[in-house]
Amino acid sequence: MQRRPLVATLIALSALLTACALPPPSQPNTNPGSSPVLSQPQPAVVSPREQLGKNAPYLLCDQPAYVGCYQTTYDQCVAELSGFSQECIQNADGKFPALDTRETMQKYSQTVGMCLALKHMNAHSEQMPSLPQCIQGLQFDSAQGQRSLQK
């Protein structure tokens, strides 16, 4: 039965998307007597909704091994996932209207990631026997994932 590998694959992909989509936890200022004035300008904070809404397809397609599992081109991968992206974002928006905690943001990112991965796999049903095993064995580059979100 293919369900266990597929579920494990989707969980692995959602973990990657979560790691890439969430900003690092903020670190408290532990230096007593330090000025609250920032010495360097801070980048504008972009919400996970905006990041994923704009760049979710790139998180997967910017990973050459992921594209290789589908035996397709980068451009084809982006086009396919872009076709699913809006539906996946809307699905997650409906489930998580407020992203007020890190846990909620994590669940939101996982929902988007699992939706994209599942829809992409279903679009390639002719490759289903080999896709879960190929994807499950991937080594994702989380630094590339962060760059993908900044496009």
User: pLDDT by residue (tens digit) across 33-72?
Assistant: 554 444 455 555 667 788 888 899 998 899 999 999 999 9
Q: How many CA atoms lie within 13 A of 124 on its CB side?
A: 20
pLDDT tens string 10-27: 555 555 555 555 555 554
CA distances from 130 to 7, 33, 37, 69, 143 (A): 14, 59, 54, 8, 27
Region at 93 (left for phi over 0; alpha for psi -120 to 50; beta for the rest): alpha
Is pTM, for the whole model, over 0.75?
Answer: no
Residue 62: both structure tokens together = 């910017």
Contact status, residue 109 vs residue 48, Cβ threshold 8 Å: yes
Q: For 143-151, what is the mean pLDDT?
A: 83
Domain boundary assignment for the chain? 47-151
- pLDDT reported for residue 33: 55
